[in-house]
Amino acid sequence: MTRLSALDQLAQGVRRPGFDPAAHGPGIVHIGLGAFHKAHQAVYTDDALAAAGGDWRITGVSLRSLEPAAELTPQNGLFTVIERGVEGSTARVIGAIDRALSLSTDRRAVLDALCDPATRIVSLTVTEKGYGIDRASGGIDRTHPAIASDLADPADPQGVAGLLVWALGQRKQAGTPPFTVLCCDNLPENGTLVHALLVDFARQTAPDLADHIAQEVAFPSTMVDRITPARTEATLALAREMTGVEDHGAIESESFRQWVIEDRFPQGRPAWEAGGAVFVEDVRPFENMKLRMLNGAHSMLAYAGFLAGHRYVRDVMGDPALAALVRRHLAAAAETLPSLPGVDLQVYAADLAARFANPHLGHETYQIAMDGTEKMPQRIFAAACDAQERAQPLEPFAFATAAWMRYTLGRDATGQAYDLRDPRAALLTPPPDLPVTPEGLHDRLAAIPDLIPARLTKAPGWRDAVIARLSLMLDKGMRAAIETEATR
C-alpha cells in the first residue's frame, strides 16, 4: 500500500487541510512531538492556517526519541487524526507540521530553528516530569538528569530549560526578539512555573540573561484537554482502512477538544480561535477545574481500575461500583472549586463521565497511572487540602490516595510485577525485606519530601481515612475495597 506523502492519495471522505501546506512557512517550534501535540495544538494550528493563513507551521522536535521524525519525514509532515466519538469515527489529515526533527540526530537544525527570527512561539508538551522543576522552590531541580547535564555544560544543552535559555541568549545577542514560551502540559499555572524555571536556570548559567527572561519573555499559561490514548497497531490498521494509504504517524483521540489560553503573544500568534480555542486574561480557574476534575478522576480510576483488572477507562465506566466512585470523585473535586462564569460544574462532570465511557476509545489505565509523583500533588492533594480547609468530605481523596499508595507496591493481586514508570520510583519502592503494613506504607510515602503537603498529612482524620482504605486494599484486594467504598 502507498505511504502517505501527498493529499491527492487520500480516499474520499477523509478531511484534508483547508490550505496549501507548501504556501506557509514555519513560525512555531514545538518540543515534545508526541501523540497529544499531534491531536491538539497541531489540529488547532491546522484550523488557524485554513481560516487566516500566515507563516505558522510547526517545526516539531523530539528531545530523545527518533520515531516521530522517522514517521513524519517521509510523509512530508502529514499524518492522520482519527477522531473517535461515541457516535463513530472520522479521519482527518493534518498539514500543520512543516518538518519533524530529533535533537539527538538533527541537533544543528533544532538549534537553528530556535534561533530563527521566523520562530515566534516555542510550545511544549514534555510531560510534568520533563521540565526538572523543584516543587518546593519552583526553580530548578538539580537532581533532574537534564538539568544536571545542562548545568555542567550549558553550551551543549539537552533538556528543556537548557535549550530555551541558550536559545534566548543567542537571540538576545543577535538582536532578535524573544519567542513566546507556551507550556501545554498539565501543570498548575504552567506558564508561571516555566517562567520561574528558566529564570532560575539562567541565574545559574547566564546571570546577565536572567532579568531579560524575567522581564521580556512572555509565558502565557494554558489549559489543554483532549483524551489521546497511546497508539497501537489497531490505530494504524484503522488509518489504512479509512484513508486508503499507509500512515506511520497516525494517531487517535476523542472528538472533544478544549484549549484555554492567556492572550499574551508579543510576536503574534495563529488564529487558534478558528479551531475553538478560548483566550482569557487568567487561565487558573479553568486549569484547576481540569486538573482536579478530569485529571484527578483519571488518576483515581487508573490506580483503582488497573488493580481491579480493568485495562481501559471504558471498562472502568462499565463497572457500576467503580463508575459510581468516579462520579463521586468528580462531585467532590467540583466542591473545592469556585464558581466559574459560563461553566456549570455539574454539567462538566456529567460530560466527563460520558467521555470516559466512550466505547471507541482504548485509553489504558496503566498509561494514565505513570508518573504518579508528578501528578498526584496538583490532581489529588491540592484538592484534598482545600476540602479539608472547607470542612468538606475527604473520603474521595483518601480513597484515591490509598489506591495510589497500593499501586506503588509494583505488583497486582496475583503477585505479577509491573513497572511503576515514575521518576521517583526508587523512593516509592519499599526495601525487599521491609514488611508491608498499611501504616508503614502510608508513613513511608507521606515522608517523601515535597510530595504530600504537611497541612494534609497533619489534618485531623486524614491519616486514619487513608490507612483504613489501604488496609482493605491490602487485606481483601482492590475489588473488595471498591465495593465497600461504593456503599459507604
* Closest C-alpha to 99, from 63, 61, 134: 61
What tens digit of pLDDT does each residue of 129-156 get?
A: 999 999 889 999 999 999 999 999 999 9
Exposure string of 218-227, with b = 16+ CB inside 10 Å and e = fewer, is: bbbbbbbbbb
Give the model's pLDDT for residue 87. 86
Instruction: Find where cell 546571570 sits.
Output: 207
Question: So what's the pLDDT on residue 434?
Answer: 85
Whole-number pLDDT of residue 427: 95
Is the distance from CB of 336 to CB of 392 less than 8 angstroms? yes
Q: How far apart are CA 73 and CA 71, in angstroms?
A: 6
Instruction: For residue 87, count other CB atoms closer than 10 A to its CB.
Output: 8
Does residue 54 surpass a pLDDT of 90? Answer: yes
Q: Which residue has the cell 510530595?
A: 451
How do residues 158-182 score in pLDDT, each as one tens digit?
Answer: 999 999 999 999 999 999 999 999 9
- Within this chain, domains 7-280 and 284-486 share the same CATH topology: no
24-63 CB burial, b ≥16 within 10 A, e <16: bebbbbbbbbbbbbbbbbbbbbbbbbbbeebbbbbbbbbb
Sequence-ordered list of residues with C-beta below 8 angstroms from that of 350, at least 6 positions apart, any chain: none
CATH placement of domain 7-280: 3.40.50.720
Are residues 178 and 216 in contact, defined by beta-carbon separation less than 8 angstroms? yes
Q: Which of 364, 372, 379 is nearest to 313 (CA)?
A: 364
Assess whether pLDDT exceeds 90 at residue 488: no
pLDDT in tens, 116-128: 999 999 999 999 9
The pLDDT score that the predictor gives to residue 341 is 84
Give yes or no for residue 241 having a pLDDT over 90: yes
Nearest to 40 by CA among 234, 254, 351, 246: 254
pLDDT value of residue 425: 96
pLDDT tens string 179-231: 999 999 999 999 999 999 999 999 999 999 999 999 999 999 999 999 999 99
Q: Which residues pair with 124 in a beta bridge?
A: 31, 183
Region 220-248: what's the mean pLDDT? 97
Contact 103, 158 (CB under 8 A): yes
Domain locations along the chain: 7-280, 284-486
**Above 90 in pLDDT, residue 340?**
no
The alpha carbons of the chain give a radius of gyration, in whole angstroms, of 23
Give the three cell numbers for residue 315. 471498562
CA gap 27, 270 in Å, rounded: 9
Q: Which CATH class is domain 284-486?
A: mainly alpha
* Confidence (pLDDT) at 433: 85
* Predicted pLDDT of residue 258: 97
Q: Please check the confidence at residue 105 and state whether its pLDDT lies above 90.
A: yes
Task: Match 472547607 to its residue by C-alpha cell.
Answer: 390
Taking CA atoms, 28 is separated from 41, 54, 370, 385, in Å, by 11, 11, 29, 38
User: What is the pTM (predicted TM-score) of this model?
Assistant: 0.95
- With cut-offs at 50, 70 and 90, classify the pLDDT of residue 382: very high
| Separation CA 131–CA 194 (nearest Å) | 8
Give yes or no for residue 108 having a pLDDT over 90.
Answer: yes
Residue 417: beta bridge partners? Answer: 411
Q: Give the separation between CA 87 and CA 409, rounded to whole angstroms.
A: 39
Q: Are the CB atoms for 28 and 45 separated by under 8 Å?
A: yes
Q: At 390, list the grid cell.
A: 472547607
**Greatest extent of the chain over all pairs of C-alpha atoms, in Å:** 66
